[in-house]
């Protein structure tokens, strides 16, 4: 089977709440969240530190159990981790004693795939992430960006229908981060799996997403489901465009929102309402 071929998942949450801790230390991390994600969408979850973004991702991965409500992937409740969901973290989890190709092929080995086939699939994925020729390098011989490419390849080789990414580029410098964003978008354009990408970086969310789920401070609630209408493929030039800056200012307003105050809203033109009025005048 082609190692690049993939399926995509539909995801939905209804009245979803998640508590963490025990006894007197127990607290509500995510509160009554609702959302739907269509197959092959690229969704960013944006919010301040500690708002429950990673907690929500952990529930999707099956590592955390909801306290209330329902969380479905392809119409089935999430009951635990599964091969249909792949997780990429901010810090890589590569085995330092395995070379690049054996790191990427490890999941296939655990599934009983024969050595020749798993190495062929691993090579195909490494080519996809731009690491052809690095198969025999050790993780310690790679830059941070290259390590994250291997990490992404190790997840993608299992063909997950839902790719979960927890600030995967947060530890990279600005230039490398932009390169990795463009690489991920080019990969996603080919495999069309569903992506849920956690970030606290507004520029990153707008540049990458079809939609942005903006979360409030803890307990995390989704305060806006923001559609991003920039055409694809996207290029770095859009980050300095007026429309990009309008969306960025709107997201900043949402993240600065104080409880009890009315939320800022976007007009049908995709501008904050007061800016649309000025444009019409």
- Quote the number of domains for the chain: 1
CATH number of the domain residue 51 falls in: 3.40.50.300
Note the pLDDT tens digit of each residue in 9-45.
999 999 999 999 998 899 999 999 999 999 999 999 9
pTM: 0.89
Residue 196: what are its φ and ψ, rounded to 5°?
-120, 115
Q: Determine, yes or no, domain membership for 3.
A: no
Note the pLDDT tens digit of each residue in 40-91.
999 999 999 889 999 999 999 999 999 999 999 999 999 899 889 999 988 8
Q: Determine, yes or no, domain membership for 276.
A: no
Q: What is the mean pLDDT of residues 226-235?
A: 94
Q: Determine, yes or no, domain membership for 266.
A: no
Q: What average pLDDT does the structure give for the chain?
A: 89
Range of the domain at 19: 11-235
Q: Determine, yes or no, domain membership for 177.
A: yes
Q: Determine, yes or no, domain membership for 79.
A: yes
Q: Determine, yes or no, domain membership for 259.
A: no
Q: Determine, yes or no, domain membership for 147.
A: yes
Of the pLDDT bands very low, low, confident and very high (cuts 50, 70, 90), residue 209 is very high
Given a cut of 90, is residue 135 above it in pLDDT? yes
Note the pLDDT tens digit of each residue in 242-279.
999 999 999 999 988 655 566 666 654 455 444 443 33
Q: Determine, yes or no, domain membership for 32.
A: yes
Of the pLDDT bands very low, low, confident and very high (cuts 50, 70, 90), residue 171 is confident
CB contact set of 242 (below 8 Å; sequence gap of 6+): none
């Amino acid at each position: 089977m082609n190692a690049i071929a993939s399926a995509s998942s539909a995801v939905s949450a209804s009245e979803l709440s998640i508590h963490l801790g025990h006894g007197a230390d127990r607290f509500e991390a995510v509160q009554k969240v609702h959302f739907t994600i269509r197959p092959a969408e690229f969704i960013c979850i944006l919010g301040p530190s500690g708002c429950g973004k990673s907690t929500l991702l952990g529930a999707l991965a099956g590592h955390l159990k909801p306290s209330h409500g329902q969380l479905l992937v392809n119409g089935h409740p999430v009951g635990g981790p599964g091969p249909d969901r792949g997780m990429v973290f901010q810090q890589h989890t590569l085995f330092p004693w395995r070379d690049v190709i054996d790191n990427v092929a490890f999941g296939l080995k655990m599934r009983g795939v024969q050595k020749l086939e798993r190495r062929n699939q691993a090579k195909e994925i490494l080519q996809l992430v731009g690491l052809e020729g690095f198969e025999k390098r050790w993780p310690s011989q790679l830059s941070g960006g290259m390590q994250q490419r291997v990490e992404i390849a190790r997840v993608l080789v299992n063909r997950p229908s839902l790719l979960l990414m927890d600030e995967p580029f947060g530890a990279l410098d600005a230039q490398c981060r932009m390169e990795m964003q463009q690489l991920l978008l080019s990969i996603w354009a080919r495999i069309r799996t569903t992506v849920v990408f956690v970030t606290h970086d507004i520029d990153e969310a707008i540049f990458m997403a079809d939609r942005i789920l903006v979360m409030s401070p803890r307990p995390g609630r989704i305060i806006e489901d923001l559609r991003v209408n920039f055409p694809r493929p996207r290029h770095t030039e859009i980050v300095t465009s007026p429309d990009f800056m309008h969306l960025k200012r709107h997201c900043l307003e949402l993240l600065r929102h104080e409880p009890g105050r009315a939320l800022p809203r976007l007009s049908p033109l995709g501008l904050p309402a007061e800016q649309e009025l000025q444009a019409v005048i």
